[in-house]
Amino acid sequence: MTATAPDPQHTDPARSRRALIAGSVGNFIEWYEFGVYGYFATIIAANFFTPDGASDMEALVKTYASFALAFFFRPLGAALFGRLGDRIGRKPLLILVVLLMSGATTLIGVLPTYATIGAAAPWLLTLVRIVQGLSAGGEFGGAVSVMTEFAPRGRRGLYGSWQSFTVALGLLGGAGAAAVLATALPEQDLADWGWRVPFLLALPLGLVALWLRLRLEETPSFERARTAGPLTKPSAGEVTKAIVLGIGRLMGWSAAGYTFLVVMPSYLQTTLNATFQQALVATVLANLGFALAIIPAGVLSDRVGRRPVMLAGAISVIVLAFPLLNLLQDPGAPSWAKGLAVLVAGVAVGLMAGPGPAMLAEMFPTTVRYTGLGLAYSLSNAVFSGSAGLIITELIKTTKDVDIPAYYVVAACVVSAVALAGLRGSDHREELRG
């Protein structure tokens, strides 16, 4: 497949900015909700998964099982919406997925609990999260396709990094909402009804996202592919190989990102006996480090390539994971040191997340880009992000080994480092494939 010629509209600043904002806003809502769900996991467990006689740890495992199930519907959503997006365009599918996502998130805020309707409550919650998983699976491929296909020459790393940056903003937004409510409300009110408020906020956020996406134009790359007539598509084997390789390159980001940025609050509370407020502060600091590193990492990858920046992130996690966890486990360690440690952990994940979207976009041609990069990302997240809380919590429960999170992220990052080493150094300077 030959590289496509540059399109003059490809670098139009106004169109590029609109695409960047419209692509980013859905990511914010998606990860805001997943963050809120993770931060309120212990409260959700008590409200939906704790019949009489069940232990707190057992309820938390069930909560994370529901969390993981939604992630395993992401690949289905990526395949379904991605195939349509590669056929009829990026815009209509991005409108549909943001409607599904914001609607399902709002529903969580009004669902009846176990105390109200009994065993139906966890099933209803799980059904809503399945809808979220399907829509989230279609979100990433479309959003990254739009951002990178509209990106000016030599700035795909920057534009793609906004996908990851809005992930960080969404997680920070969720943490901020949880922290405000935890501070403003008595503990009982927070457990009874206060946890619902952040989910209900998805409704106005979704309306804003819908308005932005209705104004979005179709990408130049897709328009060229549509008007050029029948194009030779890569074989199923080539696409499958690229997806598997993409999963390997992303799994460190997926595992470390969710372990440090989302699962951390429940780990600190249930394993290290931290308070809810202490766990949230640690998580906010980790997400802050993540957010601060993403865009600089994307910009740097436009200059030196995706490989060295992402490798630096994976190797940093491998080196720092055990010292970080041991520091958090030490009751005598100063608070500033613990705060700095989780901040640095977030930075390491940000080095992988910044160049990651552009790296994926460069692996697939226009005719299968929405589907290919969406499947690589969603499969990686299904296995290594969505299952992180369940795997870590269950293994700690079984083995009593509090170092399980470090083993988990190190193993994933070792595989990613090997896969990233094979990246071509010139991909960031070439046009996206047609």
Question: What count of residues does the chain have?
Answer: 434
Contact 17, 25 (CB under 8 A): no
Instruction: Name residues whose C-beta falls within 8 Å of residue 277's C-beta, 6 or more positions apart in sequence.
Output: 179, 182, 183
Q: Whole-angstrom Cα distance, residue 104 to residue 131?
A: 7
Q: Give the position of tokens 């109200």.
A: 116
Q: What is the pLDDT of residue 381?
A: 84
CB 33 within 8 A of CB 171: no
Task: Tell me which residue has tokens 């740890």.
Answer: 57
Along the 434 residues of the chain, how does pLDDT read in single tens digits? Answer: 444 444 444 457 778 888 899 888 888 888 888 778 777 877 887 888 776 555 566 666 666 677 667 778 889 999 999 999 998 889 999 999 999 999 998 999 999 988 888 888 888 888 888 898 899 889 999 999 999 999 888 899 999 999 989 988 887 788 788 888 888 888 888 888 998 999 999 899 999 999 999 988 888 888 887 777 655 678 888 999 999 999 999 999 999 988 887 777 677 777 777 777 777 788 788 888 999 999 999 999 999 999 999 999 999 999 999 998 888 888 888 878 888 888 999 999 999 999 999 999 999 998 899 999 999 999 998 888 777 777 887 888 888 888 888 999 999 999 999 999 988 877 788 888 76
In the chain the first and final C-alpha atoms are separated, in Å, by 7
Please give the DSSP secondary-structure letter assigned to residue 49. S
- Please report how the helices 369-384 and 56-72 are oriented relative to each other, as an axis angle in degrees rounded to 10: 170
DSSP track, 178-240? HHHHHHHS-HHHHHHTGGGHHHHTHHHHHHHHHHHHHTPPPPHHHHHHHHT-S-PPPPHHHHH
pLDDT value for 107: 93
pTM value > 0.85:
no
On the CB side of 25, CA atoms within 13 Å amount to 24
